[in-house]
Amino acid sequence: MDVDVLASELPDALPGLLRYARTLTRDPASAEDLVQETVVRALAQAPSFRGDSSTTTWLHRILHNLAVDEMRRRREEPNEHVVDMVEAKWRDDAYTVDAEAVVLRAEERSDLLEALAHLPFIYRSAVLLHDATGLTVPEVAHVQHVTLPAAKQRLRRGRMMLVSELAAGRERRTEMPGIPLRCWQARQHVSDYMDHALDAETARVVERHLAQCPTCPPLYAALVGVSRILGDSLRDPDTVVPPGLAERLRRG
């Protein structure tokens, strides 16, 4: 890519990069540093960029790599035990949440950001890239250097963890009637079902399960509601790049 072409595209890309960095780090100064370093790296690497992804995806990949490097320097633990705990809950057919309470809490920006902060980095990144930034799952896979199935799994787990985090203290159990499809089987598919990524037969099976199950519909409603809020709230098109950061970028 020609450096001048990239320089002309950067002003439109900066607000989205800054939103992603701010939510990823929750520290404004660190977020601005990440964006500045992303721009510096992108301009330096522009001649070698061959357009194997969109410019937006490529810039997010650079920022993501920088954030991963920073996390490793700080020796932050990935907290994978959180993933195991949440999956154990979602495997329980009797586990469900109060969907209305979850969505209402997600609508409080401070509560939503606090819940996101409790997600391990790779899952928080996947949810933000897809639901808040609007990247497709293949683009998320490209940004995170993983396979498409791995990106789908990270998005599914991230969405589940976010709902459970928002539901903390409002979780409940329900007695299960005899339903043909086990809840965990259905819950493994609902993320793809939300994204219209299931084949027709699997989608029909999931829909039949949701029509009969007393515990899965609230979970599904919470997933849909929180993802919508992420898109509407954190993908705010009016994000303004702070004058200080803009000046730093101009100085190079």
All domains of the chain in start order, with CATH:
3-77+237-251 (1.10.1740), 80-234 (no CATH)
Question: What is this structure's pTM?
Answer: 0.80
pLDDT band at 161 (very low <50, low <70, confident <90, very high): very high
d(CA 14, CA 240) in angstroms, rounded, equals: 9
Alpha carbon distance 103, 99 (integer Å): 6
Residues 6+ apart with CB under 8 A from 80: 120
Average pLDDT over residues 97-115: 91
Can you tell me the distance from the alpha carbon of 173 to that of 215, in angstroms, rounded to the nearest whole number?
8
Binning the chain into helix, strand and coil, the percentages to the nearest 5 are 70, 0, 25
Contacts of 68 (CB under 8 A, 6+ apart): 121
d(CA 31, CA 85): 30
Alpha-carbon span 245 to 252, nearest angstrom? 11
The pLDDT tens digits for 20-31 are 998 888 788 888
pLDDT tens digits, 167-189: 985 555 554 455 557 889 899 99
How does the average pLDDT of the chain come out, rounded?
A: 86
